[in-house]
Structure 1
Amino acid sequence: MNTAKLIREVPSLRIRVPNERDVQPNGRFVLYWMIANRRTRWNYSLQRAVEWAQELGKPLVILEALRCDYRWASDRLHRFVIQGMVDNEAALGKSPVTYYPYLEREPGEGSGLLAALAANACVVVSDDFPCFFLPKMISVAAKQIPCRFELVDSNGLLPMRATDKVFLRAYDFRRFLQKELKPHLFELPTANPLIEVKLPQLENLPVDVIKRWPPEDDVSLKQVADDLSEFPIDHSVGKALLSGGQRAADRQVKIFLDQRLSRYAEARNQPQQEVASGLSPYLHFGHISAHEIFASAMEHEQWSPDKLSEKATGSSTGWWGTSEAAESFLDELFTWRELGYNMSSKRGDYNRYSSLPDWAQATLAEHAEDPREHTYSLAEFEAALTHDELWNAAQRQLVREGRMHNYLRMLWGKKILEWSPTPQDSLAVMIELNNKYAVDGRNPNSYSGIFWVLGRYDRAWGPERPIFGKIRYMSSDNTARKVKVKEYIEKYGPNGQRDLF
């Protein structure tokens, strides 16, 4: 892919200012508060912070902090984030940037750190992420930061502010992308915004700040990543199958492109084949950029922009001008993933039952009193104590590994709807289990999957069924007829540990 003509300035459409304060030219440094794009490459936020540092002739400080009182805080999630911090420490060690990794040991211990650093800053730059507790945290921070505060959207190929419309169907959003995305393909972030960049070196951080909030070093970061016992988090949720960080993300991209992509279109729905990209946890925590994945995939495909179709048909294949397998992957990465960002960035109730389409709420209400042959509590769902072996296997994979096969995740949700006393109860169970155990949970894309179970981005289906009404129906028996699951059930049985792949 020819990158010679790519624009190297952060597009203004990706920048928003949540306060009304001016740049403070007498500040000691530019501060990048890294909260979602936890990486040093292909990162518009870091690129914007570098631009400010160059323009003002000031040092750059990167604050990457991890609080311990976020909901669902656990060894699984903490470890993944801290492994990313280890990689960032290594990547920034020889750069002119001052990296400030901070880990909170007690709830509220880190309160005041951002304000203390911002008091010495000319400008503060952070990440614009429209989900979980981050929007509320940003709103509170905007009131405390005494200088210009910018949020930068580095989430996907399409800037979240490129449209004011909330799309209700994937087809409509895909058609919009095919009409509007082309200019943004030439606005990729700089691969490494710190290469050959000359910035003044900060002599030292404020003594009172580092004394009250001591930063970690590379040794302590590695130690706590291996032993998180000192943190007041949920230690019952153990480490995930995958490790976190930029380097692990790089390996995952290479594995996917070299070994899996060619089979993606035909085998991605087969639970007994490891064909999925495995990249969603890294995308969620910002350890890799969708832009970098795009560039790597297109280089692998030997693609050039002149292969794009001129027609915006809304079809999931044929527009990119790549292999069928790559078309299928790109549709997941951009249509379905960014559809979730479209919703969460424009509707404050994206994670509430009220956000469901009117038709879905109506049909579920009509069948809310239908008899349920089986009903389970949250604890029973969590412990995989249902009558359904396939469902239990999928739940055990989620608990053990921090992931679930994508096709079975749909079945998993449909059965929770069928076996819950009310549709509202089913939503609460799905959110709790997904966000507690899935490494890629708490994300716009994962909320899309949960709410799809209840009708979001879907249409009314017939015949009308008990409990489901006009909501799309799935069953374990039909799933077992469509895809091979015998070995999957054995592997994720109560005692099954046999390696399938």
Structure 2
Amino acid sequence: MNVPEIRIRQLTDRPVNDSGDYVLYWMTAFRRAHYNFSLQRAAEWASELDKPLLVFEALRCDYQWASHRLHRFVIEGMRDNAADFADQRLTYYPYLEEEQGGGKGLIRELTKNACVLVSDDFPCFFLPRMFAAVDKRLDIKFELVDSNGLYPMHATDKVFSRAFDLRRHLQKELLPHLAEPPKRSPLKGYALAELDALPKKITKEWKPADLDAALDGDKFLSKLPIDHDVRPAPITGGSHAGRKQLEDFLKNKLSGYGELRNQPQEDAASGLSPYLHFGHVSVHEVFAELVDQEEWNPSKVSGKVNGSRDGWWGLDESVEGFLDEIITWRELGLNMSSHRDDYDQYESLPDWAQATLAEHADDQREHTYTLEEFEQANTHNDLWNAAQRQLVRDGSIHNYLRMLWGKKILHWSKSPREALAIMIELNNKYAVDGRNPNSYSGIFWTLGRYDRAWGPEREIFGKIRYMTCDNTARKVKVDKYLQKYSAGGSQGEFDF
């Protein structure tokens, strides 16, 4: 099965270099050996040109919010990739930058000997700018491949303003794309040529990483110019851990997802978001495993195009609720960030939201806190402080409390713009799944994106949906949560 054309994009039309030594796949966002359209496309090129396939995966140290936490998670994934590629007919080249600018010139040197460059079409963070800059210096064909979601990002030009609208669109358009999944094993069926060795000039100046050594204690990581105050989260990165997480969720938690997922004290969430963000697990794999377990096929679809989140799949309520999260809500963020460069800017909020926030920007605030006070969980409210401590300690916030977390930052900041800046900084610094389209969806939702005007109109919020800590504590059980994430609380009593 060939990669669907709708998932392949090139920034500038250039020819293939038939005299090159290999096809180069630059793995940047879909950091996995399975269910990966980008790797599959690179294998197609290698087979067609009868050239070896070189997979290059790197980690720079000068990206914004670079930290011990994020670095370790990514390197754990690289180690899994090295193991998965060990018995396949390709050359895997992992590179870890040890000082700022240390990797400068490497991708240009690699492309000098390449026939074609393939990479990952991820619409967020610094990757689009990086690819645009690289493209200007290339002489060969450069393709970006979309392996983000079940629905191709560029299958529509419309930017959806509500989950309801995207859900209705998917009910009409998604099924044909489900019939074109990536291969589980992208290289299967190809007898690829083998690469004798990388040029010595490359391996001498940019030494391939020793991934086991990099993960042996903190000796390697501690010398990197990254934020070492943000310690590793209590989860292991990589596709192997991600698959175990998926297996456990489907087997033990999916059936109770609908009833329990909003309860902070219950271990009901999938825990897949960090693995989806770094591409260690594909949503196609999640979907394939789920429908296999549920014995689902397209004939079970109701056929109703009504935008409802219940009933379309013909599955249990918990299963449909989970599918709505990993498809509708996840791909809503992909839709925004792939079509609007300002997806992370205040001006991208709906006009009604900007108007009502502006009207109330000067309202009196009983409490206001600085970024540092928020970061240190130093507010007057124990529940908000507990959510912030979970973010700092674990690299995540329970989904229901994350909404409250953002709403109260709006409530307790000097202005809506400052609230947005604080949310982005804290989320992207500490959340393992931050810097992601879905993260920005959650942050901007607290300010009105994907929502409607609500009444009664309130101080500070205006017509933005309002939430309170006291009401949240009445709706969900939080006693054990507060105990675990108190200032002196212990970790490990239960996992999310």
TM-score normalised by L of structure 2: 0.98
- Quote the residue 2:392 is aligned against: 399
- Quote the residue 1:133 is aligned against: 126
1:430 to 399, 417, 423: 423
Question: Which amino acid in structure 1 is aligned with residue 232 of structure 2?
Answer: K
CA distance in 2, matches of 1:467, 1:76: 35
Note if 1:309 corresponds to 2:302.
Answer: yes
CA distance in 2, matches of 1:226, 1:280: 28
Query: Matched residue of 1:249: which SS?
Result: helix
Query: Matched residue of 2:23: which SS?
Result: strand
- Quote the residue 1:335 is aligned against: 328
CA distance in 2, matches of 1:56, 1:65: 25
How do 1:181-200 residues align onto structure 2 when only pairs under 5 Å count? Answer: 181-200=174-193
- Quote the residue 1:210 is aligned against: 203
- Quote the residue 1:288 is aligned against: 281
- Quote the residue 2:449 is aligned against: 456
1:40 to 14, 33, 40: 33
CA distance in 1, matches of 2:206, 2:136: 21
- Quote the residue 1:500 is aligned against: 494
CA deviation after TM superposition for structure 1 residue 218, in Å: 4.4
CA distance in 2, matches of 1:356, 1:55: 46
- Quote the residue 2:362 is aligned against: 369
Check the 8 A contact 1:86/1:221 in 2, yes or no.
no
Question: Which amino acid in structure 2 is aligned with residue 141 of structure 1?
Answer: V
CA deviation after TM superposition for structure 1 residue 197, in Å: 2.6
CA distance in 2, matches of 1:326, 1:168: 25
CA deviation after TM superposition for structure 1 residue 219, in Å: 3.2
Q: Kindly provide the CA deviation profile for residues 140-182 of structure 1, in whole angstroms up to 9, marking residues without a partner as x.
A: 1111222100000000000000100100010000000000001
- Quote the residue 1:268 is aligned against: 261
- Quote the residue 1:230 is aligned against: 223
2:338 to 330, 335, 345: 345
CA deviation after TM superposition for structure 1 residue 313, in Å: 1.0
Check the 8 A contact 1:256/1:277 in 2, yes or no.
yes
Q: Which moved more, 1:215-224 or 1:381-390?
A: 215-224
| Distance 1:218-1:426 versus aligned 2 partners, 3 A rule | closer
Question: Which amino acid in structure 2 is aligned with residue 181 of structure 1?
Answer: L
Q: Which moved more, 1:401-410 or 1:192-201?
A: 192-201
CA deviation after TM superposition for structure 1 residue 375, in Å: 0.2
How do 1:67-86 residues align onto structure 2 when only pairs under 5 Å count? Answer: 67-86=60-79
CA distance in 2, matches of 1:173, 1:131: 20
CA deviation after TM superposition for structure 1 residue 500, in Å: 3.1
Question: Which amino acid in structure 2 is aligned with residue 368 of structure 1?
Answer: A
How do 1:7-22 residues align onto structure 2 when only pairs under 5 Å count? Answer: 8-22=1-15
Q: Kindly provide the CA deviation profile for residues 190-228 of structure 1, in whole angstroms up to 9, marking residues without a partner as x.
A: 001123431111001111111111111343343377751
How do 1:120-199 residues align onto structure 2 when only pairs under 5 Å count? Answer: 120-199=113-192
CA distance in 1, matches of 2:188, 2:85: 11
Question: Which amino acid in structure 1 is aligned with residue 494 of structure 2?
Answer: L
| Distance 1:171-1:60 versus aligned 2 partners, 3 A rule | same
CA deviation after TM superposition for structure 1 residue 305, in Å: 1.3
2:245 to 235, 239, 252: 252
Note if 1:484 corresponds to 2:440.
Answer: no
Check the 8 A contact 1:157/1:185 in 2, yes or no.
yes
Check the 8 A contact 1:61/1:100 in 2, yes or no.
yes
CA distance in 2, matches of 1:380, 1:276: 29
CA distance in 2, matches of 1:479, 1:123: 53
CA distance in 1, matches of 2:324, 2:189: 35
Question: Which amino acid in structure 1 is aligned with residue 7 of structure 2?
Answer: R
- Quote the residue 2:351 is aligned against: 358
Q: Which moved more, 1:195-204 or 1:54-63?
A: 195-204
Identity %: 63
CA distance in 2, matches of 1:170, 1:341: 12
Check the 8 A contact 2:213/2:220 in 1, yes or no.
no
CA deviation after TM superposition for structure 1 residue 96, in Å: 1.3
CA distance in 1, matches of 2:462, 2:487: 33
| Distance 1:194-1:438 versus aligned 2 partners, 3 A rule | same
Check the 8 A contact 1:384/1:393 in 2, yes or no.
yes
- Quote the residue 1:54 is aligned against: 47
CA deviation after TM superposition for structure 1 residue 426, in Å: 0.2
Unaligned 5+ segments in structure 2 are none
Unaligned 5+ segments in structure 1 are 1-7
CA distance in 1, matches of 2:113, 2:287: 37
CA distance in 2, matches of 1:338, 1:235: 32
Check the 8 A contact 2:55/2:91 in 1, yes or no.
yes
CA distance in 2, matches of 1:138, 1:442: 17
CA distance in 2, matches of 1:267, 1:219: 38
- Quote the residue 2:100 is aligned against: 107
CA deviation after TM superposition for structure 1 residue 107, in Å: 0.6
TM-score normalised by L of structure 1: 0.97
Check the 8 A contact 2:53/2:91 in 1, yes or no.
yes
Q: Kindly provide the CA deviation profile for residues 41-92 of structure 1, in whole angstroms up to 9, marking residues without a partner as x.
A: 0000000000000000000000100000000000000000000000000011
Note if 1:87 corresponds to 2:80.
Answer: yes
Check the 8 A contact 1:19/1:142 in 2, yes or no.
yes
CA distance in 2, matches of 1:382, 1:314: 38
> How many corresponding residue pairs?
494
CA deviation after TM superposition for structure 1 residue 497, in Å: 1.1
CA distance in 1, matches of 2:397, 2:273: 11
CA deviation after TM superposition for structure 1 residue 105, in Å: 0.5
CA distance in 2, matches of 1:450, 1:99: 37
